[in-house]
Amino acid sequence: MKTLQTLSIVSTALLSNAAHLQSAENSESRPNFVIIFCDDLGYGDLSCYGNPTIHTPHIDNMACEGLKMTQFYTGAAISTPSRSSLMTGRLPVRNGMYGDRRGVLFPDSKAGLGQDEVTIAKVLQQNGYATGCVGKWHLGAFSPYLPTDHGFDFYFGIPYSNDMSPVQNKGRHAQNYPPTPLISGNKTIESEPNQGELTRRYTEQAVSFITEHKNEPFFLYFAHTFPHIPLYTNARFDGTSKRGLYGDVVQEIDWSVGEVLKTLREQGVEENTFVIFTSDNGPWLTELENGGSAAPLRDGKGTWWEGGFRVPAIIRMPGKVKPTISDEIMAGMDIFPTFLDIANIELPKGIVLDGVNQSPMLFEGKASSRNEVFYWWGSELMAVRKGSWKYYFKTIQDQYLRTVKIETPAEPLLYNIQTDISEKFNKAKDHPEIVEELIRIAEKHKQEMVIKASVCDL
């Protein structure tokens, strides 16, 4: 009898150990995800995209080891709607995070991303992922709109842009705003933090999150405050670039990227972690030397010229994503369904996504699942792209937060943005059939779109 009991105990222990080993094996096989998201970084601001005076060796090395994309699009040309598109896989007009009077959320905004919207963080969290958000959020400054209300276990950062306080902005409206809060979890721990130390502090939090969760699947959304104005860095990076303060700030971000990649390697999770580095929109050109570059693209932030929507994007997953340069079309909103496919998680039921799964392109070298891009400004569709061709319904003459002048072109505007990346040569007269086709595509898209009430205009 004693022998049978002993055998039973041993058998139970072996089964328990086997279950733990199986659990650990499943955990290790589930991929980790890291999004490194810059604010107002332009298409031409990295040395691997051709910048001659800003040196970004860590990002350049990431591009050499991964997939450098030349046709990656954000969901909008400004912050709040772009970030909402990334988080939900839906166009801003569909998730409500846009505005016709106020394009982004401000400290006095009355709401944020609604609880009826499902974020990539929420889905991953519900499927056993540890989820962390570090940096700028800009989808709501108080509960129930904070990262911890939308699927993130952990948050450390500022809730909106770094210029939205009376200390940083002497504008008339900013005088009524509160000091910028630094939030940990859902509580303010500092008021008007030293912005010269933000990138360092964010990086330390990101590194700690990876280290703490290396033995379980994790999702880290690391959203830098910079190079949005006002620009700040510290003594270690001050004067290190030939591009002035803007270049110094970008080079500190490059250092931060290096620290994150080094941590993944040192913690033994590098080959099982999907990392994407990109930006929320194009550069703020009206800030002159304090803004970046979209070269060779036309214009920048706040416009639907290519420089506003097309941004740098580098994807790295050693042994799985083949090192190459890709001119396939991909959008930030595609990350939602792509991550879920990689993690073998079903898409949420009853939700209309505008993003498409890009796993075949990323891992098998197939063509993009996307051939169309829709350029919305507020609740109005301003341009449409299909394949090589882009057609404009409206143009903008003066850029974001200056004397914005939106007008209907005097004649049809059609560009082949494969052969004419800078949008200089109007081909509408040569290809009226393409103009008609793009108008048809746009009308169909608008008819199928259910536009949600604006949150930013509240």
3-state secondary structure of 421: coil
* Domain endpoint, select from 347, 370, 393: 370
Residue 383 and residue 324 share a domain? no
What 8-state DSSP symbol labels residue 73? Answer: E
Domain contains 346:
yes
Residue 184 and residue 122 share a domain? yes
DSSP run (H or E) holding 4:
helix 2-29
* Domain endpoint, select from 370, 393, 419: 370
Residue 278 and residue 256 share a domain? yes
- C-beta separation of 297 from 310 below 8 A: yes
Q: Which residues span the domain enclosing 390?
A: 374-448
3-state secondary structure of 391: strand
Domain contains 100:
yes
- Residue 360 tokens, joined: 């075949």
Q: What is the CATH number of the domain that holds 268?
A: 3.40.720.10
- Residue 33 tokens, joined: 């995800």
Residue 380 and residue 360 share a domain? no
Domain contains 62:
yes
Q: Which strands sit side by side in the sheet containing 187-191, from one edge to the other?
A: 187-191, 181-184, 154-157, 130-135, 218-223, 32-38, 273-279, 310-316, 67-73, 324-331
Residue 390 and residue 348 share a domain? no
Residue 213 and residue 295 share a domain? yes
Q: What is the pLDDT along the chain (458 residues), one digit of tens a residue?
A: 433 343 333 333 433 343 333 333 444 579 999 999 999 999 999 999 999 999 999 999 999 999 999 999 999 999 999 999 999 999 999 999 999 999 999 999 999 999 999 999 999 999 999 999 999 999 999 999 999 999 999 999 999 999 999 999 887 678 889 999 999 999 999 999 999 999 999 999 999 999 999 999 999 999 999 999 999 999 999 999 999 999 999 999 999 999 999 999 999 999 999 999 999 999 999 999 999 999 999 999 999 999 999 999 999 999 999 999 999 999 999 999 999 999 999 999 999 999 999 999 999 999 999 999 999 999 999 999 999 999 999 998 766 655 567 889 999 999 999 999 999 999 999 999 999 999 999 999 999 999 999 999 99
Residue 397 and residue 302 share a domain? no
Number of H helices, E strands in the chain: 11, 16
Domain contains 21:
no
> What is the DSSP pairing of strand 218-223 with strand 32-38?
parallel
Residue 183 and residue 49 share a domain? yes
Residue 164 and residue 132 share a domain? yes
Residue 404 and residue 312 share a domain? no
- Residue 284 tokens, joined: 């703020």
Domain contains 20:
no
Residue 393 and residue 325 share a domain? no
